[in-house]
Structure 1
């Protein structure tokens, strides 16, 4: 049996893909005890920069993750190769064209699409969801960087349902703890395990497990 491949994709930049990818990978490793590989197919290399910071903080043998990079069609081949040896593979994709994201989406068992609760973000998300649909890969929206007590979040949830898109009920807030932990190569489940941000990540993972 091969491992699960989860691709984090969003055509719009600034959606928090790398933050979501990193937190997903670390939480999968910690909560399941399974082996996790992370694959960076974004030329910008933010995921790789985070992983290097993680090595400096925890040591090369203490990251708990396997890190790889790939580009273009090689992303699909690399992801499937990793899935033969790891329980989970998390892929961070570039906010670019269909050609860049397509191989990673095609290889995935599930696509997570981070979205901030604004109409502009929802408009930009449509292209990613349609690409996942063409590749016959299940895709679900994840609210990210959600401001506290934002009435717009409720409106966007209704708009998403009206458009026929699917979203997780678990949401990640707009919290400085996420950025602070990432700068150290860590995640909030490691730096503030009892904090609200970590609780949000745990809720997200539990909801994902129900899909697997």
Structure 2
């Protein structure tokens, strides 16, 4: 498989976008490509810099040479150029985009092989996702919705899942639960894969990473 660019985009704040970007990057880096572990780069386009803070904490926790990832920052149209440069040397480039900004997000969406849109299963999140989907449609980029922070036993989750699929964009089979481990691990510069290996959260992220790879391959 040649290099692929995965952009995480959602104009609504608080969707778990940065947490998803970090977790997917680590999950992909633990998978094999042609017999070797995948080379993965993170590209942070969000001026808030939360992903950068996580990566610095990761370097402090694991050591600068043991993060398993490369990290870059870019903004605006520079994101497209940086992503195209990185994908020459990496199997996967995962881009985190800012909320509430068409101008900053559009280049990262345009350059992507796949845009992943995290959506919490609530009516407000569903309504707020429409502008993001419209922007992605204008760029003609493939898109996959990911239901995030789902309460598995809540009827609302099932209803919203059906409503999200009715938006006309494919939704990932894998749903991410509303688990404390995702956010807690981020504070240590880690992911749930490393902080809680074998947990339900870790299994969900591993399954989602595999599903995204299969989606890109097909």
**TM-score normalised to structure 2 length:** 0.94
Does the 8 Å CA contact 1:2/1:85 hold for their aligned counterparts?
no
Unaligned runs of 5+ in 2: none
- Structure 2 partner of 1:75: 79
Offset at residue 129 of structure 1 (A): 1.1
- Structure 2 partner of 1:168: 172
- Structure 1 partner of 2:24: 24
Number of aligned pairs? 212
CA distance in 2: counterparts of 1:138 and 1:208, whole angstroms? 12
CA distance in 1: counterparts of 2:151 and 2:187, whole angstroms? 21
Give 3-state SS (helix, strand or coil) of 1:38's partner: strand
Unaligned runs of 5+ in 1: none
Does the 8 Å CA contact 1:9/1:128 hold for their aligned counterparts?
yes
CA distance in 1: counterparts of 2:106 and 2:170, whole angstroms? 20
Does the 8 Å CA contact 2:15/2:120 hold for their aligned counterparts?
yes
Offset at residue 2 of structure 1 (A): 4.7
Calculate the aligned-residue CA RMSD, in Å.
1.1
Does the 8 Å CA contact 2:147/2:161 hold for their aligned counterparts?
no
CA distance in 2: counterparts of 1:79 and 1:2, whole angstroms? 14
1:127-166 Cα deviation digits (max 9, x unpaired): 1111111111001110111123111111112112322122
1:56-81 Cα deviation digits (max 9, x unpaired): 00011110111000001000000010
Divergent runs of 4+, >2 A: none
2:209 matches 1:197: no
Which stretch of the first structure deviates more once superposed, 198-207 or 74-83? 198-207
2:146 matches 1:147: no
- Pick aligned residue for 2:94 from 90, 99, 103: 90
**TM-score normalised to structure 1 length:** 0.97
